[in-house]
Amino acid sequence: MMSLAILAWGMLSVMSSLVPQRAQGTLLSDYTLHRTHDSLYYLNEWRLPYPVYQFCTGDVDGDGSEDALVGVIKTTRYYKDRGRRLFIFRRVNGKVRPLWLGSKLAGQLQDFRYINGGIVRSLESWPDGRYSVAEWRWKDFGLSFQRYLVHQTDQSNAISIFSDHFTAQ
């Protein structure tokens, strides 16, 4: 079974523009991700000078409007190794603006999805080679851990749970 992150990366690498799908399966037109080249994307007019591996939307902060969740690969001030990061954007006066530019959740982020009800579900790996699937919810300024669906398991089991729980929503 191929990882959803790998499937998403393959899809993004061949398409020049993407409109995300909500968890319910209806297309949105508020956000479009345009690929200029491998490490330059635009979320509408917002420049993302990083490789993108994931893109979805949902009302993360509970304000009633759709937010864009974009997975980028980059270093941060505190984590010098290139890694998968989660950026969340919102619309302010018709323009895309960052809501949260995350550097880390718990483990090393492999993939994420928006789940109805304001939940961000993550697939994360750990230095010992184990994997976890976690749920996060917006709190004040950033994502707050809610629970593990599975913790410290093998990659195959984690991907299966991450995939099953995503398609069941």
Per-residue pLDDT of the chain (169 residues; tens, 9 = 90+): 233 333 333 334 334 455 565 544 444 458 999 999 999 999 999 999 999 999 999 999 999 999 999 999 999 988 889 999 999 999 999 999 999 999 899 999 999 999 989 999 999 999 999 999 999 999 988 999 999 999 999 999 999 999 986 554 4
Which domain range does residue 127 map to? 4-167
**How many structural domains does the chain have?**
1
Residue with tokens 């991907």, as numbered in its chain: 159
Which pair of tokens denotes residue 68?
């864009």
Mark 65-104 as b/e (b = at least 16 C-beta within 10 Å). ebbbbbbbebeeeeeeeebbbbbbbbbeeeebeebbebee
d(CA 151, CA 169): 20
Residue 17, number of CB atoms within 10 A of its CB: 10
pTM of the shown model: 0.83
Q: What pLDDT score was predicted for residue 74? A: 96
Give CA separation, 46 vs 41, 70, 76, in Å. Answer: 8, 12, 19
In tens, the pLDDT along 25-67 reads 444 458 999 999 999 999 999 999 999 999 999 999 999 999 9
d(CA 153, CA 58): 28
